[in-house]
Structure 1
Amino acid sequence: MRPSSWLPAVLGAALVAATPTPTIQKRWPTAFASVADGGFSLNGSKFSFIGTNAYWLPYLNSDEDIVNTLTNMSAAGIKVVRTWAFNDVTSVPTAGSWLQLIQNGTTTINDGPNGLQRLDRLVELAEQHGIYVLLSLTNNWNPVATPSSTPARRDDTASSATPLPRNFLSNDYGGMDAYVREFGTSKTHDEFYTDPTIRTFFEKYVQAVVSRFANNPFVFAWELANDPRCNSTIPTSPTCTTQTITQWHADLSKFIRSIDPNHLVSSGDHGFLCPTCTKLFPLTPKAAPSAAAGGASTRRRSRAAVMTKARLIKKIAEDRRAAPRAADAPTVKIRGAWKAPAKAKRQENGGPGSAFDGSSGVDSQDILNAPDIGFGSFQLLPDQNNYDTNPNDAIVPPSANFGATVQQGINWIQTQAASAQAVGKPLVLTAFGLVTQANEVVFVPFNASTPVNPGAGVSTRKRQTPGELGTGVTDDQRDDAYTAWLNAGIQAGLQGMTQYQWSSVGLTPSDGTFVQSPNAQQQTAGGGTLPQSPNDGYGTLGQAQNAEQGVLQDASQNITSFLLQ
């Protein structure tokens, strides 16, 4: 029996040059999301939320599909949906949506019905459902499986015989490396943050999108990028450090606020911390607001200490003593894993694991302390990241030590909450998820283009390593972990938590898009026959989806109740 808890278990589109799009002039009777007393405020009231991710949502083939998806989200208590406000291509596709063409040394923005008008429609429909949209402006991850093909395509086999539909994977929408491949000189990933030409082209795109929605309060906030860091599919240079990434955040958030002072700006980073790294914005501790002063009550919050250098060193020693023996904790190699440059790998002798040593080039607290960053962000995906201070960064399948995975997630949430409270700004867990047994055959890591464990009926590729299958958690374990993490987040005072990721079935198929007819649908987990939304290993269908959405629905009720205490 599962443990009880108070949370249950055409082509034809008009093309325009990359110049600003006229701002939509419409009046809404509601206010923009803002920050007050360390939390969010909407319409003069405190606001916190349970949300979800659906990177594919604007690019469905019909408005009816978007409406049905939003209706189901609303029924589950979802208040915010996080999605991609970018869709970069290197050649104009024959079908489906796209937002920007990056080709021949320039960019062209698609302002047609299969371009930015898809974002218009999503925000309009979300408003009708009382749902806010968190729009991410680019992606750190954009691996290319077959760069010699034209255009490059994703594959679910070792060859290009059976390509995955375009936009099936979250990392198949272009992003930072699409700019670097076209405009970069050294072709290193960190050129995206520092090269003047790349920054100019990206800012043109950002201005076109941001100005379009500057007066629309149903855009909850702007997210600069999904998981920005020094490393990606393209190698980084040895000179990329946490200060490189932090400076880019400070510059771009200031640029966005100059265009749109109405909306909050967040990073979208994974939450990595580096107590030993040099800060661009040194922390001046701020007292948490008291309930008497109108701030969020901290009486029942889990109060984790801020991760200082001294506390980090102590925690490293504790974690190493408590670490299970190798025989007790099997590991799995995640394909496409990146390696940091030697000079960035460890910033001090005996340094901690990659979540705390700055090797990713991310110091989330320094980013959060930048003047124009309105709230913090972090992610929790144990199948792809190690959130311990142990420098052994091998990924232990959550199913191998489920209890430790859950506790590590709770610790990560509490550490992030303490970091944000020290800055005095709200914090959102923008993506959390676990790969289940039903999904392990379709699991594609963020820096890969093919499944880790392709199985019978999905492709003919052999498993990479004997015994890789069987690493997913059960549906009940997933729900128990989500319950524990949501509970911990509410108690720690997180202002929002967004599950990764939502699933929809019975969608309208169209050849050349990621929703195809049933006999052509790729990567259908569990043998489903209806056209469904993309699944990179975190989507759920059937009874499993009902249970997971029940967890989210109860959490939505409880986070609101907790806020009002």
Structure 2
Amino acid sequence: MLLLHLTFIFTNLISIVFGTSVTPSESSSSSVNPPASVPSGFVTTRGNQFVLNEKPFAFVGANSYWLPLLTSQDDVDATLKSMHDAGVKVLRTWGFNAINGSELAGALQSGVTYYQVWNSSQWELNDGPQGLQRLDQVISTAEKYDIKLIVAFTNNWVGYGGAELYINWIAGAGNTHDVFFTNPQIIKSYQSYVQTIVNRYKSSPTIFAWELMNEARCLGDLPAGPNCVASKPTLTTWYRQQSDFVRSLDPHHMITTGGEGHFNWTKPATYWFNGTLFSDYNFNGQAGEDFERDLALPNIDFGTYHLYPQTWYPQLDFPGSNFTVQQWGLEWITDHANAAARVGKPLILEEFGVTGLQNKTAIYPTWVNHAIQTQHAIFPWQFGQLGLKEDGGNRLIKYADALIDGASPNDGFAIYPNQTAVFNIFTNAAKVQARRSQ
């Protein structure tokens, strides 16, 4: 989740379900095709469990998209050490950072990390010290601290060079967001970049899994077109194609979607707003996802979903409303746990967050406990680090992302070690997960 994503939160409406329960469109069963017999140190799956070296691997993870954006190896090292000390076992970060050619001079001056430069219908790779070598450093340092990585290949949103750079440079202006998933030239270009990343790291046991896209939807910063709607499996087809492609490159690492976990139910949840009954975006397939169908794909090894009810539908979150952020989150967790159990694959609550320290302290324990009780891993958005030294601890990175007084970027969701009442929720959960891994 990036701040730029918030432009579109009004489209992601939350349900208040009255009366009867909601049933999925289908009870999915999967043709499970986990990675081939994996080398030592690689994580794989066994039913609904992750497995590492033949033992169950339960864990608490962390999100840090900004870690490869740091220019100081000392700060990278300090951050990963902090994660290790907190019990973090898996880190999720971006395997993409792209710019337009017009941004290159500024990027060189500011030192911002970039892996791709777009000047035409084909990008140029930057595998130098301001490019992929920074991702190399993150991966090698993570290995030092026994932390594995989920690496996302691109972004649904414009932030840090997502899908719409491909659309603008290849398909051209005037196209809808969903052409990213169907245009043959765009798919070829995406796969070329994916192949670059996978081939660079496919022998590394530090890679936990490959992620096809962060938060894929029919719409992005561009609107959706008529070819990406609930009745047409545009995203499911793309997930199948790309997961099959990645598996052809890498038989050992796991693959996941990176999706937010939207459902496509025949009787979707509804909610009342201003006297009108609405069909809910999270459940009616309008986003393009079909969580159960997508999870059942043979080369999707585990499920992901995200959880931001406070910001997804703030109109319902007001004093006196019968909607509560906490309860809605518990039901969302249950819905995904039940769906993953039917499909028979592991599950990660890959991003979740509320703003406000008091909200975090009150709500996170219930969400975390429920997720752990239903046997899946958790990745709060996002890990906060203090004491960063580069540029004296103050540096504008890009957009509104900045280091301020040594603190890593904070979009309102960051969790810092000095916020002990919140931070300890996750360190204690990490201890529970570690005991399950013995």
Q: Which residue of 1 is the match for residue 381 of structure 2?
A: 500
Structure 1: give runs of 5+ residues left out of the alignment.
1-27, 143-170, 277-308, 328-349, 387-393, 437-474
Unpaired segments ≥5 residues, structure 2 = 1-37
Q: 1:516 aligns with which of 392, 395, 401?
A: 395
What is the one-letter code of the residue matched to 2:324? A
Displacement of 1:352:
3.0
Where do residues 102-181 of structure 1 align in structure 2 (5 Å cutoff)?
A: 102-142=118-158, 171=159, 173-181=160-168
After TM superposition, the structure 1 = structure 2 runs for residues 234-313 of structure 1, keeping only pairs within 5 Å, are 234-242=222-230, 243-276=233-266, 309=267
Is residue 406 of structure 2 the alignment partner of residue 531 of structure 1? yes
How far residue 476 of structure 1 moved from its aligned partner, in angstroms, is 3.2
2-structure distance, mates of 1:114, 1:480: 41
Q: How far apart are the structure 2 equivalents of 1:216 and 1:252? A: 21
3-state SS in 2 of match to 1:71: helix
What is residue 81 of structure 2 aligned with on the other side?
71
**Aligned position for 2:305:** 378
Deviation at 1:175, TM superposition (A): 0.7
| In 1: Cα distance, 2:193 partner to 2:404 partner | 38
Q: Provide the aligned C-alpha RMSD in A.
A: 2.7
Change (3 A) 1:522 1:34: closer
Give me the TM-score of the superposition, normalised by structure 2: 0.83
TM-score (norm 1): 0.65
Kindly state the Cα deviation for residue 77 of structure 1 after the two structures are TM-superposed.
Answer: 1.1
| C-alpha spacing 1:529/1:368, structure 2 compared with 1 (3 Å) | closer
Match of residue 66 from structure 2: 56
Distance, in Å, in 1 between the alignment partners of 2:170 and 2:307 is: 32
Alpha-carbon offset, residue 30 of structure 1: 3.6
Q: Cα distance, 1:399 vs. partner? A: 7.5
Would you say the 8 A contact 1:380–1:432 is kept in 2? yes
Which position in structure 1 is the counterpart of 2:54? Answer: 44
Distance 1:487 1:504 in 2: 24
Structure 1 residues 561 and 407, CA gap change in structure 2 (3 angstroms):
farther
Give the counterpart letter for 1:131 in structure 2: I
Counterpart position of 2:96: 86
Cα 1:272/1:517, change in 2 over 3 Å? closer
Amino acid of the residue matched to residue 416 of structure 1? H
The answer to whether residue 434 in structure 2 is matched with residue 553 in structure 1 is: no
Match of 1:490 in 2: 372
Q: 1:562 to 1:484 in 2, by over 3 A?
A: farther
Change beyond 3 A, Cα 1:398–1:516: farther
Q: Is the 8 A contact 2:113 2:130 kept in 1?
A: yes
CA distance in 1, matches of 2:121, 2:391: 31
Matches within 5 A, 1:165-564: 171=159, 173-185=160-172, 186-242=174-230, 243-276=233-266, 309=267, 316=270, 352-386=279-313, 395-397=315-317, 404-436=324-356, 475-494=357-376, 496-510=377-391, 516=395, 530-541=405-416, 543-544=418-419, 546-561=420-435
- 2:229 alignment partner AA: T
1:355 partner amino acid: N
CA distance, structure 2, for counterparts of residue 244 and residue 187 of structure 1: 16
User: Which amino acid letter does the alignment assign opposite residue 62 of structure 2?
Assistant: T
Q: Deviations over 1:214-249 (max 9, x none)?
A: 111111001111100101111221111350001000
- Indicate how the Cα distance of structure 1 residues 531 and 430 shifts in structure 2: closer, same or farther if over 3 A, else same: same
Q: Is the 8 A contact 2:326 2:366 kept in 1?
A: yes
Change (3 A) 1:517 1:415: closer
Contact kept, 8 Å, 1:60 with 1:515, in 2: the verdict is no
Contact 1:77–1:553 (CA<8 Å) still a contact in 2?
Answer: yes
Letter in 1 for 2:99: V
Q: What CA deviation, in whole Å up to 9, does each residue of 1:410-444 have, x standing for no partner? A: 100010011111111111011011111xxxxxxxx
Aligned length: 391
CA 492–67 in structure 1, closer or farther in 2 if over 3 Å, else same: same
Query: Quick check: 2:154–2:213 contact (8 Å CA) kept in 1?
Result: yes
Deviation per residue, 1:359-393 (Å, 9 max, x gap): 1111111111111101000000123325xxxxxxx
Provide the rounded CA distance (Å) in 1 between the counterparts of 2:401 and 2:71.
19
Greater gyration radius: 1
